[in-house]
Structure 1
Amino acid sequence: MNAPNSHNTATVAGLRMIEQLRQVHEPLRADIEVLENALQQLSDETADLTRIPEMIDNLTIADFVWQLRVNCDFYCNTLTLHHTIEDQRMFPVMTRNFPELAPAVERLQAEHKLVGEIVSEAKRASLALSTESSTVNRAHAAISELADHMQSHLDFEEATLFPYFRRMDRDWHYG
């Protein structure tokens, strides 16, 4: 796939689309890291458990394991919704406007399918989370696998789409 010329100029709509996608991607990056680190702390037998609450600010409703269970599930649901919107709404607009993006979009959609399978396991593992070490280890492994896939996926998606966004006069939300 030939990327569009990388100019320092970009359309207003393109810059807005880049900012919107970054506003979704950055919390996804940050939250998966927090979840992974919290589960790592919980799984370390010698962990200083007094540090865990400071890792997840503003989570005061219930105990830490319950919060992890809820937040892992919420993260997985948010990620699934994000990928559904991209697959059903953004990618068709992008390939219609830029047919040369088709191979990259196919790769992104294949990655979404793979991530969806990992998300399913992460949800199952997270919802089964308790203070039992086997459930913690299972949830940690699932979230770590998801984190590994998400970092490279988000980087590829941004590197692929942002140059095209910069050229668009109209936000993809509007066709």
Structure 2
Amino acid sequence: MTTADEPERVLGWGQQLIQVHDALRADLARVRESLGEPGVTLAPDVRLHCATFCQAVGEHHTREDAGMFPALAAAHPELRETLDGLAQDHVAIHSLLGRLETVLQTAGAGGATDDLRAEVDGLAALLVSHLAWEERALVAALDATPR
């Protein structure tokens, strides 16, 4: 139990990163589930869900590139090469997000989900791997960072 003189302990930055990543992984799973079976028509809410997911991933990576990565590089120079690799992943993921958004825009109201499914599967393969790498490489350093 904490007292007025003893602030409540909050999660470390690394644990917060894991929570954000877990939310992205869960949302990705929901996107994949919402596509249904191959050959089914694309429901309008699937489009919105995919677009919202793409935006969330893009914003998350933008914040990492602009804030977290430079701060970690300054505090932990030994992580610079890893941070550069993670930033390169962000560029590749951004490209896949753009392709997915293009498929979302060009699919007709009654279009099949097959092209969309292929793009989501490609994105998922890279994104899930990237999130795991980021956690393995950065969580300990983030948790050691004072709040």
- Tell me the TM-score normalized by structure 2: 0.85
Cross-structure match for 1:173 = none
Match of 2:135 among 155, 158, 168: 158
Report deviation, 1:115: 0.2
Query: What does 1:84-99 correspond to in 2, within 5 Å?
Result: 84-99=62-77
Q: Which residue of 1 aligns with 2:16?
A: 20
How far apart are residue 24 of structure 1 and its match? 1.3
Partners of 2:128 and 2:49 in 1: how far apart?
Answer: 19
Partners of 1:32 and 1:103 in 2: CA distance: 28
Alpha-carbon separation, structure 2, partners of 1:66 and 1:127? 11
Residue 119 of structure 1 deviates from its aligned partner by: 0.3
Contact kept? 1:73, 1:127, Cα under 8 Å: no
Deviations 1:84-105 (A, max 9, x none): 0000111000000000000100
How much does 1:43 deviate?
1.9
Unaligned runs of 5+ in 2: 1-8
Counterpart secondary structure, 1:119: helix
The CA deviation at 1:44 is: 4.7
* Equivalent position of 1:79 in the other structure: 57
Match of 2:102 among 104, 124, 133: 124
Find out whether 1:146 has 2:123 as its counterpart.
yes
Instruction: Give 2:3's aligned residue.
Output: none
Partner of 1:43: 38
User: Structure 1 residue 120: deviation in Å?
Assistant: 0.2
Match of 1:54 in 2: none
Counterparts of 1:140 and 1:150 in 2: how far apart (Å)?
A: 15
Aligned to 2:6: none
Aligned ranges 1:64-75 → 2 under 5 Å: 65-75=43-53
Instruction: Give the root-mean-square deviation of aligned CA atoms.
Output: 1.9
- % identical aligned pairs: 27
Aligned length: 138
1:100 aligns with 2:78: yes
Q: Distance in 2 between matches of 1:92 and 1:124?
A: 31
TM-score, with length taken from structure 1: 0.73
- 3-state SS of 1:166 partner: helix
SS in 2 for 1:43: coil
